[in-house]
Amino acid sequence: MQSKRKLILNKFLIDGGKNRLMSDRSEKYLINGEKDKWEVVIGLEVHAQVTSNSKLFSGSSTTFGAEPNTQVSLVDSAFPGMLPVINEYCVQQAVKTGLGLNAKINPYSVFDRKNYFYADLPQGYQISQYKNPIVGEGEITLDLPNGSKKVGIERLHLEQDAGKSIHDLDPSNTFVDLNRSGVALMEIVSKPDLRSPDEVNAYVKKLRSIMRYLGTCDGNMQEGSLRADVNVSVRKEGDTKLGTRCEIKNVNSIKFMQMAIIYESKRQVELLESGKSIDQETRLFDIKKNETRSMRSKEDAHDYRYFPDPDLLPLNLDKKLIEKIRKDLPELPDEKKERFIKEHSLTPYEANVLVSEKEISNYFEEVIKSSDKKLTKNWIMGDLFASLNEKNISISESPVTAKKMAELIDSISSGVISGRTAKEVFEIMKETGEDPKKIIESKGLQQKSDPKELEKIIDKILSDNKDKAEQYKSGKDKLFGFFVGQVMKESGGKANPQLVNEILKKKLK
Of 41, 110, 353, 409, which one interacts with ligand ADP (CB under 6 A)? 41
Of 138, 243, 333, 436, which one interacts with ligand ADP (CB under 6 A)? 243
Q: How far is the CB of 193 from ligand ADP (least distance, A)?
A: 7
Q: Considering only residues 246-285, where is the footprint of ligand ADP by CB under 6 A?
A: 247
Interaction partner, residue 44 (ligand ADP, Mg ion, none; CB < 5-8 Å by kind):
ligand ADP
Q: Which residues pair with 231 in a beta bridge?
A: 43, 247
Looking at beta carbons, which pairs linking 302-310 to residues 24 or more positions away fall under 8 Å? Answer: 304/114, 304/115, 304/116, 305/113, 305/115, 306/112, 306/113, 306/114, 306/115, 306/130, 306/131, 307/112, 307/113, 308/110, 308/111, 308/112, 308/113, 309/84, 309/111, 309/112, 309/113, 309/127
| Residue 416 three-state SS | coil
In whole angstroms, give the CA distance from residue 376 to residue 397: 19
CA distance to 47, 92, 138, per residue, from 190 (Å):
11, 21, 9
In whole angstroms, give the CA distance from residue 293 to residue 283: 5
CB nearer to Mg ion: give 10 or 280.
Answer: 280
CB nearer to ligand ADP: give 282 or 471.
Answer: 282
Helices (H), 38-154: 88-100
Interaction partner, residue 41 (Mg ion, ligand ADP, none; CB < 5-8 Å by kind):
ligand ADP
Assess contact for 103 and 156: CB atoms under 8 A: yes
Interaction partner, residue 112 (Mg ion, ligand ADP, none; CB < 5-8 Å by kind):
none
Region from 208-216, 239-247, 316-324, 326-334 binding ligand ADP, contact rule CB under 6 A: 239-247
Q: Considering only residues 171-190, where is the footprint of ligand ADP by CB under 6 A?
A: 189-190
Of 11, 104, 191, 344, which one interacts with ligand ADP (CB under 6 A)? 191
Q: How far is the CB of 43 from Mg ion (least distance, A)?
A: 9
Number of amino acids touching ligand ADP (CB under 6 A) = 16
In whole angstroms, give the CA distance from residue 308 to residue 105: 20
CB nearer to Mg ion: give 300 or 477.
Answer: 300
Residue 192 interacting with ligand ADP (CB under 6 A): yes
CB nearer to ligand ADP: give 160 or 231.
Answer: 231
Pairing of strands 30-32, 281-286: unpaired
CB nearer to ligand ADP: give 190 or 371.
Answer: 190
In whole angstroms, give the CA distance from residue 450 to residue 54: 64
Q: How far, rounded to the nearest angstrom, does the alpha carbon of residue 207 sit from its chain's CA centroid?
A: 8
Q: How far is the CB of 231 from ligand ADP (least distance, A)?
A: 3
Interaction partner, residue 33 (ligand ADP, Mg ion, none; CB < 5-8 Å by kind):
none
Render 292-324 in DSSP notation, one character per residue: EEEEEEPPPGGGGT-EE-TTSPPEE--HHHHHH
Residue 40 interacting with ligand ADP (CB under 6 A): no
Contact string 198-227 vs ligand ADP (x = CB under 6 A): ------------------------------
- C-alpha neighbours within 13 Å on the C-beta side of residue 293: 7
CB nearer to ligand ADP: give 239 or 464.
Answer: 239
Interaction partner, residue 436 (ligand ADP, Mg ion, none; CB < 5-8 Å by kind):
none
Region from 243-251, 262-270, 417-425, 451-459 binding ligand ADP, contact rule CB under 6 A: 243-251
CA distance to 199, 359, 398, 414, 425, per residue, from 404 (Å):
36, 16, 11, 15, 11
Q: How far is the CB of 186 from ligand ADP (least distance, A)?
A: 13
CB nearer to Mg ion: give 30 or 228.
Answer: 228
In whole angstroms, give the CA distance from residue 433 to residue 120: 46
Q: How far is the CB of 85 from ligand ADP (least distance, A)?
A: 27
CB nearer to Mg ion: give 36 or 229.
Answer: 229
In whole angstroms, give the CA distance from residue 367 to residue 379: 10
Q: Is 504 left (phi over 0), alpha (psi -120 to 50) or beta?
A: alpha
CB nearer to ligand ADP: give 43 or 138.
Answer: 43
Which residues are near ligand ADP by CB under 6 A?
Answer: 41-45, 189-192, 231-233, 242-243, 245, 247
